[in-house]
Structure 1
Amino acid sequence: MIIRDFEPRHTEEAAEIALDVYNYERAFTQELPEVSSIPILKQLSGNGFGVAAFEGGKMVGFLCSVEPFENVFRSTDVRGVFSPMGANGAVMENHGRIYAALYQAVAKKWVKAGAVSHAICLYEHDEEAKRQLFQYGFGMRCVDAIRPMETIDCVVCGGYEFLELPKEDYAYVYPLHLALNEHYCSSPFFMNRKPDTLEEFLDFSERNKERYFAAKIGGELCAYLEVSDQGETFIASGNLYRHIMGAYCMPEHRGRGVYKNLLNYVINTLKTEGYTRLGVDFESINPSGSGFWLKFFHAYTNGVVRRIDERIMQRASLI
């Protein structure tokens, strides 16, 4: 096996592999749409942070990433890299061995650039690649999931009002947004994100055209769900797709079916508008969140993460 730097001329061969592994996942997760191209490959092909594997002159795998960035997961003080969905893949034969060789080669580039957090998006059913990267110190952290825009079975809970908030009422979501940030800090989450100010929260919502759906009781908000027109994977956008970006229910209202009913309200609203798929991404380290979403959505990616020993940076120039 020969490992080379990934270059723009490799994009076409890599796209064939990427489509093959995507379609393999579609066999398990039929809500995924049919695609004919992997646009992110062209964006990443010339940044110098990818490698490709060849055998007999034919590409058998590739592993690319975005350029290193600071404040990984918005809750650390370290630099990291991320290989998104579609930015890595390998043929089925010797699948794990190819991923092992690709990561060993590309990790040198990432560490030389000062990245100590390495994140790679793999497909939910790519067990061989996950097993190989777990052996290299990775663990699962993030999940993308999808469902058809059809309501879920649940009992109607009385006493609650479900609605989409007008823009002038977005500020009422802010206390729940802060409560969600506090939840991030709890065990086993341990994500200490700096919360937005009210002005930042409202500005972000305006710029990104976020929509907020809520549950009320006694005129007060007790749960919300934030919907966007795009998520973090290349299929998480388009005219027929909408994505959940944030969600929180006050503890005293959990276990009453509030969130199931709120989700159904959102689904009915979006279905009426012509949308056919609903997606969500969440941290697998959030037991309450992942437990809820996986009841009603089908996972199609696993984000695996490795935090390398930072003292190696003292010798990064020798790697």
Structure 2
Amino acid sequence: MNLVPFTNEHLDAASSLLALRHRAHRAALPLLPAAPEASAEARRSLEALRQQPRTGGFAALQNGQLIGFALGTLRIDTTWGRSAWLLAPGHALAPGTNPEVYRDLYAALAKHWVREGCFAHAALVPASDRPSLEAWYRAGFGHEQVHALRSLDTVKLPPGVPDGAPRIRRAGMEDLDRLLEMAGFISEHQRESPVFAPYLPEFSEDWQQDYTELLQGEADRIWLAEQDGRLLGFAIFSPSQQPPGELLTPSESVTFTVGVTREDVRCRGIGRALFARGVEEARSMGFRACVTDWRATNLAASRAWPRMGFSPALYRLTRRVDERVAWARGSLPCP
């Protein structure tokens, strides 16, 4: 096997490998979009990825034939700092290829990423591809995020609500202040054990504008659960965005972006009732699928959302390289 920089001459073969990978992925999860099973559509995904700034990678060749590739993108933002990403369209192996090839491709990429000062590495891998996942685990990656889908062809509502249960209704602009009051509950939950996801105060600066736009959005929905004038929880559903080259989201999809319930009223079915109302409305609006994601270490979400019918589609795997490698050379000066 020989690793070489990925160039235009590898595009056709890489598109075929990506299409075959997506075909196998969709066999395990038929709700995924069908278009990327065609090489032409897979090529469009690859071309869209390569147009992103700071994107490059390697091709794995054997006897002159492409058996795998990996294209990574360097990012600089306030959430991750300097990071490197292997997005869903950015990698594939030929059928029958040993998944260890992924470790060789990553080694070549990581050398470049660390040299560029990127110590946070992420890879999005099909949840159904266990051999590839195991190879990434052996490369030092851990399971951080779940991206999941569920069909809206049928919507199961929760059991009958007893007397005195919370009222479920759509939020309006008059509810903005109460929503903003509860919005921070999610970040507070995420920063606790065992998630430990920091949420800096600066991230909340745009909340008022964001929630105002959601309340005024034509197809966005915020559903409230309230009782005796007290807001107990809410759920947000918005039409899904489909960036160029994205392989996860089916057409006519809605995204379940937020679900939160006050801690003192959990385990009373409020979250289930909010979710059921949201997907029932989404189905009546013509949406056929629902998309969401959650931290794998979020015990509440990782147990609740699969019970709501979601099937994992992609896992975001991450690795944090010890930043001391930038200056530690492994030798001491002579006395």
Q: TM-score, length-normalised on structure 2?
A: 0.85
Is 1:43 aligned with 2:56? no
**Hey, what does 2:333 align to over in structure 1?**
none
- Displacement of 1:166 in angstroms is 2.6
Is 1:64 aligned with 2:76? no
**Hey, what does 2:254 align to over in structure 1?**
242
SS in 2 for 1:215: strand
* Aligned match for 2:224, one of 214, 217, 242: 214
Give the number of the structure whose alpha-carbon radius of gyration is greater.
2
**Hey, what does 1:229 align to over in structure 2?**
239
Going from structure 1 to structure 2, the CA distance change for 1:104 and 1:207 (only over 3 Å counts) comes to: farther
Output the CA distance in 1 between the equivalents of 2:232 and 2:158.
19
SS in 2 for 1:4: strand
Number of residues paired by the alignment? 312
Output the CA distance in 2 between the equivalents of 1:88 and 1:120.
9
> Given that residues 121 and 304 in structure 1 are in contact (C-alpha distance below 8 angstroms), is that contact kept between their aligned partners in structure 2?
yes
Output the CA distance in 1 between the equivalents of 2:208 and 2:160.
32
**Hey, what does 2:11 align to over in structure 1?**
11
Output the CA distance in 2 between the equivalents of 1:168 and 1:63.
49
- Displacement of 1:164 in angstroms is 2.2
Give the partner amino acid of 1:41.
Answer: L
> Given that residues 6 and 45 in structure 1 are in contact (C-alpha distance below 8 angstroms), is that contact kept between their aligned partners in structure 2?
no
**Hey, what does 1:115 align to over in structure 2?**
118
> Given that residues 3 and 61 in structure 2 are in contact (C-alpha distance below 8 angstroms), is that contact kept between their aligned partners in structure 1?
yes
Going from structure 1 to structure 2, the CA distance change for 1:113 and 1:129 (only over 3 Å counts) comes to: same
- Displacement of 1:250 in angstroms is 0.9
- Which blocks of at least 5 consecutive residues in structure 2 are unaligned? 330-335
Output the CA distance in 1 between the equivalents of 2:238 and 2:201.
19
- Displacement of 1:152 in angstroms is 2.9
Deviations 1:13-46 (A, max 9, x none): 2222112112212112122221232444213325
Going from structure 1 to structure 2, the CA distance change for 1:169 and 1:161 (only over 3 Å counts) comes to: same
1:222-301 residue pairs with structure 2 within 5 A?
Answer: 222-230=232-240, 234-235=246-247, 237=249, 239-295=251-307, 296-301=309-314
Output the CA distance in 2 between the equivalents of 1:29 and 1:103.
26
Give the partner amino acid of 2:59.
Answer: A
- Displacement of 1:197 in angstroms is 7.0
Going from structure 1 to structure 2, the CA distance change for 1:306 and 1:157 (only over 3 Å counts) comes to: same
SS in 2 for 1:120: strand
Range that drifts further, 213-222 or 296-305 = 213-222
Output the CA distance in 2 between the equivalents of 1:198 and 1:190.
18
1:74-93 residue pairs with structure 2 within 5 A?
Answer: 74=79, 78-93=81-96
Give the partner amino acid of 1:244.
Answer: F
Give the partner amino acid of 1:79.
Answer: R
> Given that residues 8 and 45 in structure 1 are in contact (C-alpha distance below 8 angstroms), is that contact kept between their aligned partners in structure 2?
no
Is 1:151 aligned with 2:164? no
- Which blocks of at least 5 consecutive residues in structure 1 are unaligned? none
